[in-house]
Structure 1
């Protein structure tokens, strides 16, 4: 190497400024996942992650700069290093091949979520007849009269305090973020053995059943929720369920199909 060679030659083609341990994930930050879903972008996640990994980035950057400075000093190019230090730093940053946010997402388990068709079942104590409650469930799920009557009656009978009709499923939260504020998913489809619940978030009650369905709804983001982030989480606080309890619900948006993979099972 001669003294006319550009300083860029000393900068590695790729660098890793971050290390995310396989045990690090977002499983305890479902509040952050909910914010990303609500905003339909990953901005809040990246802000939080970069704050957490800022020190690691700085240490890695200083180490690489030190190695480059040492190599250039060996060839009597210290002045060139100091002259181009800022440019060298920017080039190192641009050649980073590790995204800590993506690594954390990969390490995270699927999240218990629910979609609300927008149907409310009233309390059975003198406010709404059993027949009317069953009718509202059938109408929301687009079922024919008499279809799954026994199971729907079971659902209504055991959800004494009424509540919101919900469809429960597991998903990686990032799969429901388009990162496009101008366009969102148009439809969401549920199929397989679909978990249907009537849950009351005000008094912590509810009941659920499984129905073999194939049903598509217009996608309304305001009807999509991370279960743990609502008052009296049905899965955790009401029923004490394991994470994989609603794996039997398969789902897809208009863009891609999501099948039950390893992420849809409780992490070991």
Structure 2
């Protein structure tokens, strides 16, 4: 801003608010955007959306501040200077804006159900064979090892977990969080560890077929932080908390957590859920094009599905042949 314009800054309001987020506006219905922020370790996607949502409001408020400034300058006989420096005055209004729609939306939002995958797959029963893919003893051993427990510690809880997750699945820890606390916004200096403590919700969940079980175990467990293993539960089909169990949002409040910048010993295998999400995106794209895919077990991505009482009884998609046995 040149010298003449600098002499005019007093005409611009000292405190500017271009965005006014209603207390009822939040991100509770936008967990897909939260997932994008977690994946990219950045709030950029959310800011893009928020500025688009409030674009009209921003434009209206900017017009109001410009008009207020113009009238103030006209009353002092400076109308020509306003016309000459309007763009610079507009920039000053932006500089003095103290409102942030993203911060307000986050402040209005509830916690989100997350899970952290331990990268361990438990093999359960299969539809084509009458026995488990691995023994209960082996499955319990894998759970204890992942949770850094010795034999004899919480054996009953672990056996309950394994035996009730009859079809197996991925070993996970569920917790609630404000999603922005899991965004470091620094790819070169991301979190190094994540600690779970309190009455920790441990689950074996099969997102591919929609089953699982969970228990609460008093733990204090610090693991290496691997962003690829962190997920918004609702964004992984089948969602364990919602689609499988129909849980209330606070169901995993008992798990306490914190991230750290000090590296943790040990390692965590990469979750297969990232690949599962990519496959889900492909299925969704095909469905939106008017078609469907054999083997896609999401009932909602098939049309004209019919039930048959014949043997074996179940539902079949007449277009691709996908079958859901009773």
TM-score (norm 2): 0.76
Tell me how far 1:255 sits from its aligned partner.
5.2
Aligned to 1:67: 68
- Change in CA separation of 1:4 and 1:47 when aligned onto 2, cut-off 3 Å: closer
- Change in CA separation of 1:74 and 1:141 when aligned onto 2, cut-off 3 Å: same
Separation in structure 2 between the aligned mates of residue 171 and residue 4 of structure 1, nearest angstrom: 47
Structure 2 unmatched ranges of 5 or more: 126-130, 263-326
- Change in CA separation of 1:135 and 1:5 when aligned onto 2, cut-off 3 Å: closer
- How many positions carry a matched residue from both structures? 254
Root mean square deviation of aligned Cα: 1.5
Aligned to 1:186: 192
Structure 1 unmatched ranges of 5 or more: 257-268
Asked if residue 27 in structure 1 is aligned to residue 33 in structure 2, the reply is no
Separation in structure 2 between the aligned mates of residue 224 and residue 68 of structure 1, nearest angstrom: 49
Asked if residue 110 in structure 1 is aligned to residue 96 in structure 2, the reply is no
TM-score (norm 1): 0.92
Deviations 1:27-84 (A, max 9, x none): 0000000000000011111111111111111100001111111111111111011011
Task: Using CA pairs under 8 Å that are at least 6 residues apart, name the structure with larger relative contact order, 1 or 2.
Answer: 1
Within the candidate set 173, 183, 200, 2:179 is matched to 173
Tell me how far 1:204 sits from its aligned partner.
0.4
Aligned to 2:90: 89
Tell me how far 1:123 sits from its aligned partner.
1.2
Aligned to 1:263: none
Deviations 1:161-185 (A, max 9, x none): 0000000000011000011121110
Separation in structure 1 between the aligned mates of residue 140 and residue 5 of structure 2, nearest angstrom: 82
> Following TM superposition, where does structure 1 have runs of at least 4 consecutive aligned residues deviating by more than 6 angstroms?
none
Separation in structure 2 between the aligned mates of residue 5 and residue 34 of structure 1, nearest angstrom: 44
Separation in structure 2 between the aligned mates of residue 234 and residue 132 of structure 1, nearest angstrom: 24
